[in-house]
Structures are given as C-alpha cells and as structure tokens.
Amino acid sequence: MDPIKNMISATDPVHSDPSVPDGEAALRRMFAEPAEFSDSLPRNVDSLADWKLRRARLAGVLTLAAAAVTAGVLVATNVGSLTTAPAPAGVVAPTATATATASASVSPSATPTPTPTPTPTPTATAAQTPTTPVAAAEDWRTFTSAGGKVTFDYPAQWSVAALTGASGSPDVDVDVSDAAGLRVASLHYDGPGGGIGGACLRSPVPYTVLDSVVLALPYNTSAADTVTPRFTFRALQEPGRVTASYGITSSAAGQDGKSCMFYNVVSGPAEAPLYSFADAFQVNAGDTGQNASRGGIKTFPSMEAARAYMQTPDYVNAKRMITSLKINAG
C-alpha cells in the first residue's frame, strides 16, 4: 500500500491495521470462533426499572421528612414555651426551705411570715356581756314533783324552792333562782281555779315574737284563741324601750301585729285548767309588773338589744330549762 493510503488508514479510529484486510479470513473467523452474547448492562449503568424504584424511594423519604417537620411545628405551636408558667395568684410555689409540716399559710421566702387570723366583727347580738356561764350537760339536775307528775332540768348552780303554803298540796308551785339568788322563772301547775283576768294599761303597741319552740305539753284544744303549747320570747315595742318576757303559752296574741298585753300561760287539762312556767305570768305595756329582787319581765333600750340578750348564758339556760318541762297529765 502506498504511503498516503497508510496515513489515511492510520487515522481510522476503528481499525488502525495498515494492512489490507482479508475478507475470507474474517468470514471464517466469524463462523468458526465461539461468540458470547448478553443483554446485561454494565455494572455502572442502572436499568430503567431500578431508576424508577430509586426515584420512588427518594420521593417517599422526602414526604416523610416533610410530614415530620410539619408535625413538629404544630406541636411547638400548641404546647408553647417549655419554660414554667408563673403560678396563679394565691398559690405558693415550693422553695428549698419548705418543710413537710402543713401550715395554714406558707410564705415563698426563706423565713415564712405567719398570716394573721381575721378577727370576727362584733354583731348586734353580742352587745351584752354574759353574766353567767352556760351550764355543761353534766352540770344539770332534774326536778321531779311529788308523785312524778311534773319534771324539768335545771343547772346545778341554780336552786328550786317551793312557794309558801304549797307544802303538802298536790299542786306544783316552785320558784327557780340562779346562783346569785335572782328568780329566773316560776312554775305553777295548779288545780281548778278562777279566770286569768287583767286589762290593758295602754293602747296596743307593735308586738314581736323573737323566739318560739313548739312543746309536747297537754292543753285544752277547745279553748278560745288557742295554739299548740310552745316556749316563746315576745316583746312589745313601747316608746323609748322594749318590754320582753319568756315562758310557755297556748294563747295567741298580736293578731294584727300589735298588742297591749299577753300571757305566759297554757290552757291545760281538767286537773290544771291553767298552768305556767315563765319569768312573768302576765306582761302589760307600760308596767314592769315585778320588783328587782324577783326578776320578771325584761326591758331593753331597743329591739336589737333584746335580740342580743338571746345569745347570753342567762337566756340560753332559762330556755333549756323551760323547754325540758314534762307533764304526765291524768
């Protein structure tokens, strides 16, 4: 081959053999030599299916990452700051100096300051100073009349005395006096006698029932203006003062909110048509009706003072004594 042809052949990228190819030899090699054929791709080249699978996995990972980020944002938004919120007013946060002993109030400082106890505001009902202490349950005695017809309880410091002329009589007539000797109340459970009598000394004045307790005592249901026997503390509002009295009664009074007088008396059975256990038998506007040594009805500067008297041991003990009355009629 001439030099120019060899130069052209040398530039051929496929075949640089400068010699002239032998066609017959090439054909014989094609049919005589074994040949290997494969549809596999090179290791560094991915198939279409692998490429799609890898892309799908990548998309799934990205989706999960986005969901996790979104969830974190939502949780952070709802929960808010992780710092401890300030305690509400009135709640004391524990400190390093707190002890296990519970107290009425705890100060958050290192040296607790005790909270002052509120002082009760005095009311109108505490205006009067008690003169005698309230008797405890174990400091009471029981009075029983001859034959056991009448009984009642009274403080051990008090005394029960039969009235003059009552000795040997089936009637029950006694005075009950406190430790100072002042009469608290009188009990009269007598046989048949006369009427009540009495008349108003003044015009009717405002009438108030300050206390009332219904009692299981015998009474005459057919008597006029009769109510169920009860203990009462009643008052008449007079000019410049209040007249009040306590005792048992079955007589109605103050039908129109006014009265000039009232009775502490019960319309009883045939054996005792009238009986009483009170500080005064009859209370009349304008007249105290008692002397200082025997006690009796009470006078107060105002209705508030009368209500305050109900909180005193004198009244509490007298009420307990009178309401303990038991009568075995018949």
pLDDT at site 48: 72
pLDDT at site 179: 94
Considering only residues 221 and 68, tell me which one the structure prediction assigns the higher pLDDT. 221
Q: What is the pTM of this model?
A: 0.58
DSSP one-letter string for 264-316: --EE--TT-SEEEEES-SEEETTB--S-GGG--SEEESSHHHHHHHTTSHHHH
Tell whether the model's pLDDT for residue 161 goes beyond 60. Answer: yes
Tell whether the model's pLDDT for residue 229 goes beyond 90. Answer: yes
232: closest CA among 241, 242, 245? 245
Give me the chain's average pLDDT, please.
76
User: Is the distance from CB of 137 to CB of 149 less than 8 angstroms?
Assistant: no
Considering only residues 100 and 8, tell me which one the structure prediction assigns the higher pLDDT. 8
124 three-class SS: helix
Q: What mean pLDDT do residues 213-217 have?
A: 97
